[in-house]
Amino acid sequence: MEPFGWFFYVMIGSLLLAGAWKCIEASIELKEDLRRKCRLLKLDMSESQVKSTLGEPSKVEMQAPMCHWKYPGGATVTFTNGKLTGWNEP
């Protein structure tokens, strides 16, 4: 005798799909929020102004005199001598 019927497996599968969908929705919301914040950036902003707009970067790469900040969701901002010189939206 089978310990679980087909209904059990259908319910487990549905719950797993619902959980995966929540993760996808959260990722989309993160990118949309980051995209919206990137549109507030202006050339020559200071690092502190960018940080107050986008938050803390997840990764910082130094290539003097440039500095690249990377954000979860795919945005990258570039500073030259401490001033914002470019960015890519997610």
Mean pLDDT of 52-79: 95
Q: How far apart are CA 12 and CA 28, in angstroms?
A: 25
Task: Answer yes or no: is pLDDT of 12 > 60.
Answer: yes
State in Å, rounded, how far the first CA of the chain is from the last one.
52
Q: 6-88 has which fold?
A: Beta-lactamase Inhibitory Protein; Chain:B, domain 1 (3.30.1450)
Q: Give the ranges where 2-89 is alpha helix by DSSP (H).
A: 6-38, 47-54
Task: Answer yes or no: is pLDDT of 34 > 80.
Answer: yes
What pTM does this model have? Answer: 0.71
pLDDT of residue 73: 84
Q: Show the tokens assigned to 25.
A: 């929705």
Task: Answer yes or no: is pLDDT of 40 > 90.
Answer: yes
Looking at the DSSP bridge assignments, the partners of residue 87 are 77
Q: How far apart are CA 80 and CA 67, in angstroms?
A: 6
Domain ranges within the chain, ordered by starting residue: 6-88
